[in-house]
Amino acid sequence: MTSRPSPWASLSPEEHEFHFNPQRAFPDFATHKLRRAPANEGALAGLRREAELAYGPTPRHRLDIYPAARPGAPVHVFFHGGYWRANDKNGFAYIAAALVRHGITVAIPNYELCPDATLDGTVASARAAIAWLARHAGDHGGDPTAISLSGHSAGAHLCAAALATDWAAEGLDPAFLRGAVMTSGIYDPLPAMLTTVNQDLRLTPEIAARNDFEHRPPVSRARAHLFVGGREPWHWIDQSFRYSHHLRRHGGDPEVHVLPGHDHFDILDQYMAEESPILRAVLRAAGAGGA
């Protein structure tokens, strides 16, 4: 499939599935979503929300904005995970709760999912959501010149896509993108081709190569903060370190943190913990302190 050496070449099919399919590594993954459901329902009921704003032509080109109390607030965009094939923005309202309290306007987009779309379409829709916010966030109480990103798992990959985007070619001042926090990310899609997940993803070597941000040079100078759970399989952990080395080779200065005791799914609890490393990093990326 590729001529470059792969770190996973020696794995058996069963080992590869364990290392590169988080649901196989943590079969109790659904319990974490259920545990966070009351907090999510509370955020949906209690936060001001501008829902289902269209940033493109399809039903998945929709985002929700949770405005901060003050106008002109920095904007933070969160991309959910789901291995590019699952989940919905309505399940992640809890991400906005702590950030709105800190004076940050939060946008949570949906994006095109496989198999209805290819990964090309998934990445294109995430870029379109960011570009729409860079043009229209001011109409919804945010500062379009101060946008930060975060994402979990496949959502971290979409943040990496944003860092590799030539925003000037889109008619935007690249300085609008201030920082990105990427948690438990996959940055090269190639190993996903060898998992059962590819039944939905329908990756080909060509699609994987076009969306391989572990090897495509970054364009944005936004500061990157990378997190991964200490209980995750070590090949999954290694992806964050490989991506951080890639950013450093191209002049970046990313931070990388392994959070002991966390797995691929409970690590999202960090967004709800006031003094957590991930929440503090998001606040720094958004320019709201939290060091």
The string of DSSP codes covering 45-79 is HHS--EEEEESSSSTT-EEEEE--SSTTEEEEEEE
The separation between CA 108 and the C-alpha centre of its own chain, rounded to angstroms, equals: 10
The separation between CA 189 and the C-alpha centre of its own chain, rounded to angstroms, equals: 14
User: Which residue in 34, 82, 283 sits closest to 184, CA to CA?
Assistant: 82
The pLDDT value given to residue 289:
53
Span between the terminal Cα atoms of the chain, in Å:
43
Strand-pair category, 142-152 with 73-79: parallel
* pLDDT level of residue 265 (50, 70, 90 thresholds): very high
For 239-260, the pLDDT digits (tens) are 999 999 999 999 999 999 999 9
User: Which positions ≥6 away from 197 have C-beta within 8 Å?
Assistant: 21, 83, 85
* pLDDT level of residue 3 (50, 70, 90 thresholds): low
* pLDDT level of residue 287 (50, 70, 90 thresholds): confident
Residue 131 has pLDDT above 50, yes or no: yes
b/e burial code for range 98-137 (CB count within 10 A of at least 16 → b): bbbebebbbbbbbbbbbeebbbebbbbbbbbbbbbbbeeb
The pLDDT value given to residue 4:
62
Distance separating alpha carbons of residues 142 and 286, to the nearest angstrom? 12
CATH class in words for 13-285: alpha beta
Summary mean pLDDT of the chain: 96
User: Which residue in 136, 82, 128 sits closest to 109, CA to CA?
Assistant: 128
Residue 290 has pLDDT above 50, yes or no: no
The pLDDT value given to residue 250:
96
Average pLDDT over residues 28-54: 97
Share of the chain above pLDDT 70, in %: 98
* pLDDT level of residue 113 (50, 70, 90 thresholds): very high
Share of the chain above pLDDT 90, in %: 96
For 149-208, the pLDDT digits (tens) are 999 999 999 999 999 999 999 999 999 999 999 999 999 999 999 999 999 999 999 999
Residue 54: beta bridge partners? 62
Residue 2 has pLDDT above 50, yes or no: no
* pLDDT level of residue 5 (50, 70, 90 thresholds): confident
Average pLDDT over residues 258-263: 98
The pLDDT value given to residue 288:
72
The pLDDT value given to residue 1:
41
CB count within 10 Å of CB 217 equals 12
Name the burial class of residue 252, with classes exposed (0-12), middle (13-18) and buried (19+) by CB atoms within 10 angstroms of its CB: middle
For 220-243, the pLDDT digits (tens) are 999 999 999 999 999 999 999 999
Handedness of CA 103, 64, 28, 281 (dihedral sign): negative
pTM: 0.97
Average pLDDT over residues 134-163: 98
The pLDDT value given to residue 149:
98
